[in-house]
Structure 1
């Protein structure tokens, strides 16, 4: 194995495998040469090219650290997004307290108070605008019966 012995201005001295010393021009060395670097020498009749030899122990360390041949894939699949529910369910319904909804539907249902409480502002406005016809009061009474028959969850909430 050839090794760089000395680097002087424009001359690089390389110790060869057979114990000899070969001098080459610095421009023929294709890397930043330092004494102690292990090199490969390629020569023909007209030119000499010197390349740095990769250290075998480094290759083994790399292959031990990464058995996939230099490809390192690091997948971090964690979800750190905050996901507040705010009482909404995916099917357009909202979670409300059963007894508050029932009382609002019974006493103020004709004005649409139970709709405002459930977050259905448009329906609440319609109930309020047509309250003089008593139709919203009739619908609110039906919604009161439906809500009182609904089974609440462990917290006393129902879906409306």
Structure 2
């Protein structure tokens, strides 16, 4: 097995820079994926055929391999507003727990940045309707919202 990096993609020819400094050109059909410049690849070849697969990227610092930290000091960033449509990115576990235990008071709505809806839940909490709606929203969040790598969902 040899390792390399995609350095050029033209029509049906993909140029790969090998770790030893050489260059190898392969047909696009020999790749098991759609190549993009900078992709790390593994090359398997014998006399008859060549197969190129996308290599899995290893973490740069092995000491921090399992830690994901996202920091920003922008007030209106992508983690606050998703795609500009007013939806918010929230932690799925926190949202579901708030909907389960304090949903009748709209805690999950306040958490997701929907303050108006949260106030509406508080105003009508004596009717138990907000509790029922919170249960429905909990079921929707648990079964239809897929969390990303950081455990976040878009609400």
The TM-score with structure 2 as length reference comes to: 0.49
Greater radius of gyration (CA): 1
The TM-score with structure 1 as length reference comes to: 0.47
